[in-house]
Amino acid sequence: MEGVVSSGIATARRSDPVSSHVAARAMAESGRGRGHAALVLGLVRSHPGETAGEIAVRSGSAGQALDSVQVTRLLIDGEVFGDGE
Using pLDDT thresholds of 50, 70 and 90, give the confidence band for residue 6.
Answer: very low
More confident residue, 8 or 80: 80
pLDDT in tens, 38-70: 899 999 999 999 999 999 999 988 778 899 998
Residue 63 lies in a domain: yes
Residue 83 lies in a domain: no
Query: Can you tell me the mean pLDDT for 16-32?
Result: 83
Domain span at residue 35 reads 4-76
Residue 81 lies in a domain: no
Query: Can you tell me the mean pLDDT for 23-38?
Result: 81
Is residue 40 within 8 Å of residue 56, measured between CB atoms? no
How many structural domains are present in the chain? 1
DSSP string, 36-61: HHHHHHHHHHHSTT--HHHHHHHHHH
Residue 59 lies in a domain: yes
